[in-house]
Amino acid sequence: MSNDNAVLARNTKNAPQNPLASQTVAFSHYNNFSAQLPIDPVSGKLVAGGIKEQAEQCFENIKAIAESIDHAVSDIVRITIFVKQSKDIEAVDEVYASIFTSYQPSRTVVVVDDLPMDALVQIEALVSNGEGTIPNAPQAGDLIKLTNNTSNAPTSSVSTQTVSFSHYNNVSAQLPIDPKTGRVVAGCVKKQTGQCLKNIKAILESIDVPFDDIVKITIFLKDLSKMDAVNKVYTTFFPDSAIARTVAYVPARTVVAVKDLPMGAAVQIEAVVSHGDGTPPQAIEDRHGLIIEANNTEQAPKCPFSTQTVAFSHYNNISAQLPIDPKTNERIIGGIKEQTGQCLENIKAIIESVDHVLEDVVKVNIYVKNIGDMDAVDEVYARFFPDGVPARRVVGVSELPKDALIQIDAIVGNAEGTPPIVTQ
């Protein structure tokens, strides 16, 4: 990492600690929190009780981390909630409503197959960092969040469609809901995928942001065998503009198999979007005209539906990596340790191809078919991240592409940022 910016990892004893993950890792204008389990930080064990008690503990942990770095729950721009049972979403929402009484962040809710420590719920937060992390230099300070809802996309009482801060728009995960009826559209996964993407497009149009400003897409899919159908629709949306088609631009991407989704939907899509104008009070010359930098390297597997890394401003967004040998484009032979190593080697190759190093990673998301494999995963993981600096998410899934045992994606600091468009 250059001297212009620094990864800042922090922990507090008032929240659960993990030797392999920092509670929060700040870079530039965002704090990336590790996903919080319902663990009592004093005992290190799951709290007693059911879903409400566990959800309350997750939020208590998030609040403690935020306060330890002089932030507040109101600084959260995105919340991601993982539950093991669909029936528990309503109880989690009851707790959620007591936390966010006026302002609602953007939000994603999915039902997954398993969580660490057999927890019922796991909650993750992305928090603004108004002061930034450039040492001994003036920052834009006191940036404000910009929130927006449009009637052309589904609205919700518990989330905002998009929350902007600094140079990113964080869009709530979109279900295939017709905004006119408030119901999931009837039909196959193709029709539902199209509706999700139409909703995202409507949200972006409402804030004057083009569709090709999306830097990262996450697709949550109930039936992974339907991915070919999803991709057929996906390619009708990406690339979206003539400029993007010229360079064949597609965002970074992660595909996650889930047990269930709200409202019984077959698919849900989440987007992270560039925000070239930034949020005030940044000076005009500091915020306009930044460009998206997309990059692929031969040293990691390529995919026609995603770019390996998409940088914008001070972040590189890495596509989910499977244990694929880039030379053969096939899954490697071996068990969980070998597959974990290959995923991380692919991420390392991508990061190094854009002149960064593993120490620049601020967040890692791990999707594993068997939570019981995490000890073996951690053994390999510790060789790549011996200081436990990145924040981390671990989720159990029923299936992964190419029948892999593990899939990993990452968010990486981009010290130099991306340059503005040069005008002649």
Per cent of the chain over pLDDT 90 is 88
In Å, what is the CA distance from 216 to each residue of 171, 273, 409?
A: 11, 7, 11
Q: What does the pLDDT average to over 325-345?
A: 97
Phi and psi (nearest 5°) for 82?
-115, 125
Query: Which residues sit opposite 26 in a β-bridge?
Result: 8, 31
pLDDT tens string 338-378: 999 999 999 999 999 999 999 999 999 999 999 999 999 99
* Amino acid 195: pLDDT: 98
Q: Residue 245: is its pLDDT beyond 70?
A: yes
pLDDT at 286: 59
Q: Where are the alpha helices (DSSP H) in 275-420?
A: 284-287, 336-353, 374-384
Q: What is the pLDDT of residues 99-150, one digit of tens each?
A: 999 999 999 999 999 999 999 999 999 999 988 887 655 555 668 899 999 9
Cβ atoms 197, 269 nearer than 8 A: yes
- What single string gives the DSSP state of each residue in 123-166? EEEEEE-TT-S-TTS----S---EEE--TTS--BTTB-SEEEET
pLDDT tens digits for 178-205?
A: 999 999 999 999 999 999 999 999 999 9
Which residues does 25 contact at the CB level (< 8 Å), separation at least 6?
A: 7, 8, 9, 10, 31, 32, 362, 363, 389, 390, 391
Tokens of 89: 């979403």
pTM value surpassing 0.85: yes
Instruction: Write down the pLDDT at residue 60.
Output: 98
> Do 188 and 182 contact (CB within 8 A), yes or no?
no
Spatial distance between the Cα atoms of 14 and 17, rounded to a whole number of angstroms: 9
Query: Tokens 């029936």 label which residue?
Result: 87
Q: What is the pLDDT of residues 44-66, one digit of tens each?
A: 999 999 999 999 999 999 999 99
Q: Give pLDDT, residue 93.
A: 98
How does DSSP classify residue 114? B
Q: Rounded to whole angstroms, how far apart are CA atoms 220 and 28?
A: 28
Question: Rg of the Cα trace of the chain?
Answer: 20
pLDDT at res. 124: 98
| Interval 6-33: pLDDT, tens | 899 999 999 999 999 999 999 999 999 9
- The per-residue pLDDT for range 198-244, each reduced to its tens digit, is 999 999 999 999 999 999 999 999 999 999 999 999 999 999 988 88
Task: Find out whether the peptide bond into 281 is cis, omega within 30 degrees of 0.
Answer: yes
What confidence tier does 287 reach under pLDDT thresholds 50, 70, 90? low
Instruction: Report the distance separating Cα 46 and Cα 33, nearest Å.
Output: 19
Residue 1, pLDDT > 50, answer: no
Q: Which residue has the higher pLDDT, 393 or 281?
A: 393
The yes-or-no verdict on residue 285 having pLDDT over 60 is no
Q: How far apart are CA 391 and CA 350, in angstroms?
A: 19
Yes or no: say if 282 and 140 are a contact pair by the CB < 8 Å rule.
yes
Mean confidence (pLDDT) of the chain: 94
Query: What's residue 424's pLDDT?
Result: 40
- Tell me how long the chain is: 424
